[in-house]
Amino acid sequence: MSTQVTTDFDAIVVGSGITGGWAAKELTEKGLKVLLLERGRHVEHGRDYKTEFKAPWELPWRGEGDQQLFKRDYPIQSRVHHLNEWTYQHFVNDREHPYQTVEGKPFTWIRGYQLGGRSLIWGRQTYRWGDVDFRSNSRDGHGVDWPVRYEDIAPWYDHVEEFIGVSGAPENLPQLPDGKFMPPMALNPVEAALREQLDRTYPERRLTIGRTTNITQPLPGRSPCQYRSICARGCSFGAYFSTQSSTLPAASATGNLTLKTNTLVDKLLYDADRKRITGVNVIDTETGARKSYSSKVVFLCAGSVNSVALMLRSTSGTFPKGLANSSGVLGRYFMDHASSLAVLAQIPGFDEHYYEGVRPTGIVIPRFRNLGETPDNVEFSRGYSYQGGAYRLTWNRGRRMAGLGTEFKNELQKPGPWMFALTAFAESIPRASNRILQSNKTDSFGVPQVLFDFEHGDNERKALQEAAAEARKMVELIGGRVLMSSGEPNEGGMAIHEMGGARMGRDRADSVLNSNNQAHDIPNLFVTDGAAMASSACQNPSLTYMAFTARAANYAAELVKNGQL
């Protein structure tokens, strides 16, 4: 049957965050009429960043926020230090957006329900995954083999980096491939000293400036970074990548984009005869009104957990266990990096050195474990990497100092001692037992709440233990006095790198998506956010999501234009 079906749009994109913006941009630029759906409110670039230029003394709670409000409405979101009086409006209200966890397995789910999603508040660290990452599952047998290799995704990394702007230093490391970089931000003298010591003592360990989408050269409509490091308030300079600063203007400029905010997708509609998604049912979150939209293709970009949850609740006679779930693995192999403060150390000397400006990125020490043909002599598989940096303490150190009066005040006026902090991120092993489920409770829209069943495993713990020990050794190379060091993983979710649940794979029997992020079961359904990941690597994943999204969107656009979808 090749009956031409009339649809409202060529494509519907669910979610307007990092990947949704990319899907909308690529699809509209290929000439498709796109409906971009966002459950949260509209946030206009610049105009709606209402706290951006406020000094602490211009806010009622000096930046600390209304504690009673935070306790009532943001008890979970406020666990991350990005949330404060300037930024909390870019995080979800926990009271209005509840979720469940399995007893004894806490999970912190950090979200931003607004136009731009978490692209407004993300950490902006931008790393390619290496060939070793796309081969990891096949090498040690955890998870299923990726259906792609580095060379498949490399041109799409180029494509994304050139558009979003990434500052960073080339280092020629296969495990952290170089990209299309703008000039790097500089290392401060203490970081430079550690880099030098590492080169000398551990040639396989490299300290380099964090690669970030804070740009150092102008791009169309965007100014270079102003070195404020207050990104999560929203940046009217457009100096970091967000949907608002980057992909949304591009998509809008095509004239092919329809954007609807305050629109929650309740269900995907499946036509069993045509074996196609026909569209979506939505709820207007302000009025509660229900409506449907149809399209030829649907892109799920709602964030790993919400994309999986939407598939889980879109059941039908064909798919009683969740949409496109003939494999039964939907929701499983869910991951989040295990992270810990590997070391916080005071660094002696460098008293005459300070910096000017507030750099919005730290440093990275890429993975150096288990990179060879044979595994290293360690008790864990895969690896970990560090992010952090050196800085001088400021007035805040007075909280732990004895002293009163003029002498105390004069002391606090000066920059304090140098500190070096290194946070370790260990690769999360894909496990069937770590999963996203539906709870039997619903939210205020009648939509089932997400239930998390997740915990870090022994491999992650062993990796972090070693990471902490190695971090202590490294800072000691520059005389660091260790103040804190932990190899215990933070609670699940705290890395805010949730991935998997609708993994890619070669075999439709044990994966949800093929090598083009296309559902094995349903050719016009694409999932291109973190849900698609088959492994986690140990570097920040957003760039990889963007590259996969752009690649899948171009593939889907061709199919639509050829009349195959």
Partner 1 sequence: MMTLTTSCQKIWQSVEETSPTSATLGGDSMLETLDIVCDLVIPSTETPGAKAVGVSQWILGAVDNGLLATSTGELQRFAELLSTDFPFLQSTAAEQSQILAAIDNRAYIEHSQDETSLLWQKFKTLILMGYYTSEVGASQELHYELVPGRFIPDVEIKDGITKAWSNDWTAVDFG
Report yes or no: 206 and 181 within 8 Å, Cβ to Cβ: no
Q: Which of 93, 227, 249, 261 binds partner 1 (CB under 8 A)?
A: 227
How many of the chain's residues bind partner 1 (CB under 8 A)? 61
Instruction: Give the containing element (helix H, strand E) for 501.
Output: none
**Contact window for partner 1 (CB under 8 A) among 200-208, 375-383, 395-403, 464-472:** 395-403
Could you say which residues in the range 352-381 bind partner 1, by CB under 8 A? 352-359, 362
Nearest to 84 by CA among 58, 57, 109, 66: 66
Q: Which two tokens stand for residue 541?
A: 């994943």
CB atoms within 10 A of CB 83: 21
Beta bridge partners of 298: 12, 525
Backbone dihedral region of 165: left (phi > 0), alpha (psi from -120 to 50 degrees) or beta?
left
Binding of partner 1 at residue 50 (CB under 8 A)? Answer: no
Task: Return the CA Rg of the chain.
Answer: 23
Binding of partner 1 at residue 64 (CB under 8 A)? Answer: yes
CB atoms within 10 A of CB 71: 10
In the complex, what is the shortest distance from the CB of residue 404 to partner 1, in angstroms, rounded to a whole number? 5
Q: Which of 413, 440, 446, 562 binds partner 1 (CB under 8 A)?
A: 413
**Which ranges in 394-457 belong to alpha helices (H)?**
405-413
Q: Which of 8, 42, 63, 102 binds partner 1 (CB under 8 A)?
A: 63
Binding of partner 1 at residue 215 (CB under 8 A)? Answer: no
Q: Which of 416, 469, 472, 555 binds partner 1 (CB under 8 A)?
A: 416
Binding of partner 1 at residue 397 (CB under 8 A)? Answer: yes
Computed from CA positions of residues 557, 559, 561, 564, in that sequence, does the dihedral angle turn out positive or negative?
Answer: negative
In the complex, what is the shortest distance from the CB of residue 362 to partner 1, in angstroms, rounded to a whole number? 8
Q: Which of 68, 172, 287, 374 binds partner 1 (CB under 8 A)?
A: 68
Report yes or no: 244 and 225 within 8 Å, Cβ to Cβ: no
**Contact window for partner 1 (CB under 8 A) among 58-66, 104-112, 147-155, 275-283:** 58-66
Binding of partner 1 at residue 351 (CB under 8 A)? Answer: yes
Q: Which of 169, 253, 412, 559 binds partner 1 (CB under 8 A)?
A: 412
Report yes or no: 231 and 511 within 8 Å, Cβ to Cβ: no
Binding of partner 1 at residue 55 (CB under 8 A)? Answer: yes
Could you say which residues in the range 417-456 bind partner 1, by CB under 8 A? 419, 421
**Which ranges in 61-177 belong to alpha helices (H)?**
67-73, 131-140, 150-164
Binding of partner 1 at residue 3 (CB under 8 A)? Answer: no
End-to-end Cα, the chain, rounded Å: 13
Binding of partner 1 at residue 396 (CB under 8 A)? Answer: yes
In the complex, what is the shortest distance from the CB of residue 212 to partner 1, in angstroms, rounded to a whole number? 12
Computed from CA positions of residues 360, 366, 367, 371, in that sequence, does the dihedral angle turn out positive or negative?
Answer: positive
Q: Which is nearer to partner 1, 151 or 352 (CB)?
A: 352
Report yes or no: 101 and 452 within 8 Å, Cβ to Cβ: yes
Return residues touching partner 1 (CB under 8 A): 53, 55-57, 61-64, 66-68, 71, 81, 185-189, 226-230, 344, 351-359, 362, 389, 391-406, 408-410, 412-416, 419, 421
